Chains A and B, each alone.
Chain A
């Protein structure tokens, strides 16, 4: 298996623009997580899905952020409009049947908002 795939790996955009980050989880995994990592706040859970349904979005910072999972093999995290303070590395992770609760992380998308 190729592991969790994220695209793009790097994104540079200007303030006010829409940004869409993409994630393909490991096949067969029914949990998907979106995290944000910054120097100031560390690793924060934004939202997670189970069987394509959002379970907990309490970490989503504000209405500018939205996440979808239209099917078991694809998820998006959208920021509209983007702001400089959104600059961070965004990670997607997936997990199978939670007997071991092990999350597998993607390589991340480094977002820079100018």
Chain B
């Protein structure tokens, strides 16, 4: 069965600090991987995606993620957190039918 696992349902960082949100996928998941962000009372918005090619993927708002096949990971990072980054982040993988992780709530503190 396909699965996407996000480690840590809540992550708290200080403004200006590194953001690291972890995502691992099962090897049965096709190598199409995504990170979505959800702000309160809104739908999901695509941050970045990996389909083929370069394993380091850059997205919107300064976020990036690296596809590591050997580790079955697709962790999301941002060098310097901003208050506006506070939201819920979802990792997803698959083809036409996506499997979503359970989400990580990011809190950014002053």
A interface, CB within 8 angstroms of B = 4, 31, 42-43, 45, 48, 50, 55-56, 91, 93, 95, 98-108, 110
Bound together, the chains give a CA A55 to CA B95 distance in angstroms of 13
A-B contacts at CB below 8 angstroms, number = 52
B interface, CB within 8 angstroms of A = 32, 34, 36, 41-46, 49, 51, 90, 94-98, 100, 102-103
B49 in contact with A100 (CB, 8 Å): yes
Given A101-B51, A102-B49; A107-B42 close (CB under 8 Å)? yes
A-B contacts, 30 of them at CB < 8 A, read A42-B102, A42-B103, A43-B90, A43-B103, A45-B98, A50-B96, A55-B96, A91-B44, A93-B43, A93-B44, A95-B96, A98-B95, A98-B96, A99-B51, A100-B32, A100-B49, A100-B51, A101-B95, A101-B96, A101-B98, A102-B46, A105-B36, A105-B44, A105-B45, A106-B43, A107-B42, A108-B41, A108-B42, A108-B43, A110-B41
Query: Could you say which residues of chain A place their CB within 8 Å of the CB of B103?
Result: 42-43
Query: Could you say which residues of chain B place their CB within 8 Å of the CB of A55?
Result: 96
- Within the complex, the shortest CB–CB distance from A106 to chain B, in Å, comes to 5
Bound together, the chains give a CA A108 to CA B45 distance in angstroms of 12
B44 in contact with A31 (CB, 8 Å): no
- Within the complex, the shortest CB–CB distance from A80 to chain B, in Å, comes to 25
